[in-house]
Structure 1
């Protein structure tokens, strides 16, 4: 085996399914989970659709002592972590605690928990504020709670780069493996579907005001008018090849072969967007030519100008309509820091099953010159995939995934 960081476990909590199998079945079928907000009364808000994780009962998966300590987002993350570790066959205490760490992405933290405690403070008084508020709201709380629950004492951290965060966290995981760690649990699970979080979403000016789930989130479509927010994400077990050999791991989903990141220039500077540079850096880091990429999982902002920038970057690197492009998140909504790692999971499952999942509901605009996979999943020999993610404020990230040789 050549050096590298490989993915051995996947844990998914998504609007379209709990667990990798359920998520993949829904994704390949194009099942749409976008609907009216259910977690709070969104009447009177200009946006009222979301992708919510349905059927999740934390008490069925977590010990009772953790429930009052944690925000809904963290409960989702803890369960995703459990599933990823089980999928990778990592037993409790199966390796040195200092060889294992956690690197997650976050956009905000436990907004719903924080909102409740602020309400208690102002309506009832300080004695009614939970002591757990000191950390339950914090953007690094998922990393901390996962580390404590699993006894991981190796290098850990959190990155806050909005939608790009899931890729940046996986890049951090790869760096830690190169520095000697054996296993890093990485990715992102996010969720702030509550009044406080909703106002933060609305402040971006990028939310869709559409009321029909079939037309509210349409990237690369002339009808695009913003995105639908969502909750959930994916956590991945990323291991060194030495760890894989020593554990006699029989199944590896794929390799994180390359990574690139860039930051857009200040608006009005006259300099071009930097997304293309991130893509080219990732390809160069992977030692991969554009023609070797089987599919691109796009960021898909559903803002006409941002879609144009992404389409032009893809076409500049690969050629017009030269590579299949997909964005299955049209059925979930954009999951903030959880989105990119969920796309990575989808890309790895695409490699395994030889199918490119579709981009439901979208009618691709010819002017973008993209080969967007719509309608049904497309059979393909997916040997390498590119995942693109962008965060509000100018963050750009890209990761190249490579299938393991058989």
Structure 2
């Protein structure tokens, strides 16, 4: 009965039906966008807190602008006040065992100085960890530890040579747990944390420690940690150093960087919220008008049904069933659109290691609740119109 009524009703007002579906679909898409973006706002902060062994308030991103001279002296100067650490990611190309010349796959490594390494939450599962002597002594073979994912392909004591770039020799001294991450190699606001569970971790060579490592990396991957000085005190020291070296050194705590990201996305979310509210009101009014047109157009049919034992309650259920049908169609279309969009974004995110919004079960539940809200609000006027109709008026209505 309900399906036949819905088919008949849709045939009589195809344009009204199409407009209602479009309005509700757009509303659903916008509301889901708002929910996803709201969850994205705090995603990075949660990710950092759950995966990094750093205090977001007293760990500062260190950026230097200006000429290159004095940067090494600058680092030494600031080291008197703070723990300063630098790191960089490096691809070693094809690596070879020096003994058997057996090629392995391309290997990505993290080169970290002592201060950065001490912040890594490393759990050695076999062999030994990098120690104080490794960072201070100049060795022919640079010690390196690998994720346990490489265990079996590499063994403790293996000597590996990078024959593509610097000809450095590395000695495998241990394997660590796979569940470890670190800051991305690019902007920490938009890029996902690097998965060190698929890498090796080593130290800069003596030459890099003396000069190149800090000079090359100080702009993109240098951090200050201090639990003794507040940001204002740190900034005063930085200002003095700027004057001394003629540089423009900027520091931002990780918390500040994340807050800057939030401030940038808030206006977009607010705009989407207002547009969503507008479309929600439009959808409710459109659906209410659609159903009111149905009632006016089918007065005589409803009157005949009443004369044959129907109650007004039954007629109301017919109208609500049509509203539910249109809302469900809109929901399905909106979900297909968002799932397709988010799937493509997910593939892009994996390839580029960029954070993109993700759909969650909460978003789906809210979408269903939204359908109920639309139906409830939109049904108020049509159902009141049904209550006002008299049987005599209905039987004499327009067919």
TM-score greater than 0.5 by the shorter chain: no
More relative contact order, 1 or 2 (CA 8 Å, 6+ apart) = 2
Q: Which has the higher strand share?
A: 1
Q: Larger Rg: 1 or 2? A: 2
TM-score by length of 1: 0.23
TM-score by length of 2: 0.23
Q: Which has the higher helix share?
A: 2
